[in-house]
């Protein structure tokens, strides 16, 4: 069934390390091959940077959850002492 905007396109899988190494092997040696290698290295560095940023965000959310849990504990303790 077609939607209003047409049929969905096939989603291509993201390129992998093996694809990059195959491309390096297929290009002729010299400057073209060095350019492909440099691009692959740049992409790997960018991937590492994004993973680091993701991990930092996970740590920040964990820390915020810990602070929220601690503040709830303090509020409960205050209510307990006020009631007694």
Q: What is the model's pLDDT at position 1?
A: 55
- Distance from C-alpha of 46 to C-alpha of 81, rounded to nearest angstrom: 53
Contact 1, 14 (CB under 8 A): no
Q: What is the model's pLDDT at position 77?
A: 93
**pTM score over 0.75:** no
For the chain, 84 residues long, the average pLDDT of each consecutive 10-residue run is 74 82 90 92 94 98 97 94 78
Max CA distance (Å), the chain:
82
Q: Tokens for 81?
A: 């002492």
Q: What is the model's pLDDT at position 71?
A: 97
Q: What is the model's pLDDT at position 69?
A: 97
Q: What is the model's pLDDT at position 33?
A: 92
Residue-range domain boundaries for the chain: 22-83
- Asked whether the CA dihedral 39, 44, 45, 51 is positive or negative, the reply is positive
- Distance from C-alpha of 72 to C-alpha of 58, rounded to nearest angstrom: 21
């Amino acid at each position: 069934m077609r939607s209003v905007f047409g049929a969905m396109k096939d989603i291509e899988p993201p390129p992998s390390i093996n694809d990059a190494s195959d491309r390096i092997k297929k290009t002729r040696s010299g400057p073209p091959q060095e350019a492909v290698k440099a691009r692959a290295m740049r992409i790997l560095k960018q991937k590492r940077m994004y993973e680091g940023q993701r991990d930092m965000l996970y740590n920040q959310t964990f820390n915020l959850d810990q602070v929220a849990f601690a503040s709830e504990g303090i509020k409960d303790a205050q209510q307990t002492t006020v009631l007694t």
